[in-house]
């Protein structure tokens, strides 16, 4: 085993999983980054994984790898930055495991993330959400599952992976009704649910026998063979009904739609309804209020109303009286012409 292989294995098993307790989704993202790095070292640098050592890893190699991701794999800048962050995290770990080369690790960690244009925040109006859900028939078990799924996706403002990971014991039909979500970094949060939403959800759970003993840890939403729906599967269901809704009103439903747009929609509707940003942050499971502020920056209607509420007219009053109106004799003469 080379020193690279030894440290990379310890980085994943002992550090990321053992010490940091990162979520499986973060682990998977890191794994993908290093899988691509191994491909790059083999195809571009002619170094097989069996022979790859820490001495082959330096700042220039990492920069070449990042450029390769953009040019050969056509990665977006955001994806490129995620791969870079994974390697920088590995180098942070190596500072304490291989301190003899600490300057090299710090050199790699000094690589800046690329700036990229912020995409416009896309969200649906309330009318669009209603139109979307109206496309789901209620005459079959599969369609009732889809209605419970998409209604919950909106009502909870959850990430699509959080929905995919739900189990029946995540739901509490108490007063109030709540759902327990497991977000980034394995952080749990409790979200209150509206009664109308839980009526659909409760009926779905009863129809599929998910309230029976022994089903508590089963997937809440699953496919025909009983396996839990993947994020791709949930996206497919959403897009299917979005196509039908777009035929009804193309102005309300954008061409590109994803579960994350539904999450954005819930956040915007809460903001427009007067909910404090701090509560929206906790509802969405954001680590920082700065992440939640993107919704306030994107809401042009709220900006306009805020400006109108504090507007003070500082311009001098204009005199709208015309010169001939100041002459009473001329006014009388003009009236006599009538």
- pLDDT tens-digit map of 99-155: 999 999 999 999 999 887 666 788 999 999 999 999 999 888 889 999 999 999 999
More confident residue, 101 or 317: 101
pLDDT digits (tens, 9 = 90+) for 236-245: 999 999 999 9
The reply to whether 321 falls in a domain is no
The pLDDT assigned to 312 comes to: 55
Whether the pLDDT of residue 309 is over 60: the answer is no
Q: How much is the pLDDT for 112?
A: 93
Quickly state the pLDDT bin for 13 (edges 50, 70, 90).
very high
Q: What is the pLDDT of residue 91?
A: 97
Give the pLDDT score at 106: 96
Which CATH number do you get for residue 194? Answer: 1.10.443.10
Are 136 and 175 in the same domain?
Answer: yes
Same domain, 266 and 184: yes
The Cα 305–Cα 71 span in angstroms is: 45
| pLDDT number for residue 187 | 83
Residue 312 included in any domain: no
The predicted model gives 282-294 an average pLDDT of: 84
Domain interval for residue 28? 3-109
Tell me the CATH number at 80.
1.10.150
Q: Is a pLDDT exceeding 60 seen at residue 315?
A: no
Give pLDDT tens digits for 172-222.
988 788 999 988 777 889 998 887 778 888 889 998 999 899 999 999 999
Per-residue pLDDT, 323: 64
Is the pLDDT at 329 greater than 90, yes or no?
no
Pair (100, 159) in one structural domain: no
Quote the pLDDT of residue 301. 57
Looking at the structure of the chain, the number of domains it has is: 2
Q: How confident is the model at residue 303 (pLDDT cuts 50, 70, 90)?
A: low
Identify whether residues 274 and 132 lie together within a single domain: yes
pLDDT-based confidence at 264, cuts 50/70/90?
very high
- Same-domain pairing of 154 and 274: yes
Asked whether residue 105 falls in the same domain as residue 187, the answer is no
Asked if residue 321 has pLDDT above 70, the reply is: no
Residues 172 and 50 in one domain: no
- Per-residue pLDDT, 316: 59
pLDDT, residue 314, reads 55
**pTM to 2 decimals?**
0.72
Q: What mean pLDDT is predicted for residues 153-160?
A: 93
The verdict on 140 and 233 lying in the same domain is yes
pLDDT of residue 84: 96
Q: Is the pLDDT of residue 287 over 70?
A: yes
Say what the pLDDT of residue 57 is. Answer: 96
Residue 319 has pLDDT above 70, yes or no: no
């Amino acid at each position: 085993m080379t020193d690279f292989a030894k440290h990379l294995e310890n980085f994943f098993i002992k550090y990321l999983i053992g010490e940091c307790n990162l979520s499986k989704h973060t682990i998977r993202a890191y794994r993908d980054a290093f899988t691509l790095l191994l491909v790059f070292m083999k195809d571009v640098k002619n170094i097989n994984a069996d022979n790859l050592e820490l001495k082959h890893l330096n700042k220039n190699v990492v920069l070449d790898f990042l450029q390769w991701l953009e040019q050969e794999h056509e990665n977006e800048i955001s994806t490129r930055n995620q791969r870079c962050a994974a390697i920088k995290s590995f180098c942070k770990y190596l500072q304490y495991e291989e301190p003899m080369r600490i300057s090299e690790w710090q050199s790699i960690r000094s690589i800046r993330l690329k700036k990229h244009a912020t995409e416009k925040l896309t969200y649906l109006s309330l009318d669009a959400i209603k139109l979307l859900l109206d496309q789901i028939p209620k005459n079959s078990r599969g369609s009732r599952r889809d209605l419970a799924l998409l209604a919950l996706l909106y009502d909870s403002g959850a990430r699509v992976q959080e929905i995919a990971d739900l189990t029946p014991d995540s739901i509490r039909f108490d007063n109030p009704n709540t759902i327990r979500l497991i977000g980034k970094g394995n952080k749990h949060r409790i979200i209150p649910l509206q009664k109308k939403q839980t009526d659909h959800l409760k009926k779905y759970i009863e129809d599929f026998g998910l309230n029976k003993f022994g089903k508590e840890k089963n997937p809440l939403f699953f496919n025909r063979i009983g396996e839990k729906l993947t994020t791709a599967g949930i996206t497919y269901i959403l897009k299917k009904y979005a196509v039908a809704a777009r035929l009804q009103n193309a102005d309300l439903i954008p061409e590109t739609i994803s579960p994350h747009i539904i999450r954005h929609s819930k956040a915007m509707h809460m903001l427009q309804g007067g909910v404090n940003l701090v509560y929206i942050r906790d509802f969405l499971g954001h680590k920082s209020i700065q992440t939640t502020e993107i919704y306030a920056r994107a809401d042009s209607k709220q900006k306009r109303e805020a400006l109108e509420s504090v507007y003070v007219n500082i311009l001098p009053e204009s005199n709208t009286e015309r010169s001939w109106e100041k002459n009473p004799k001329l006014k009388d003469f003009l009236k006599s012409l009538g």
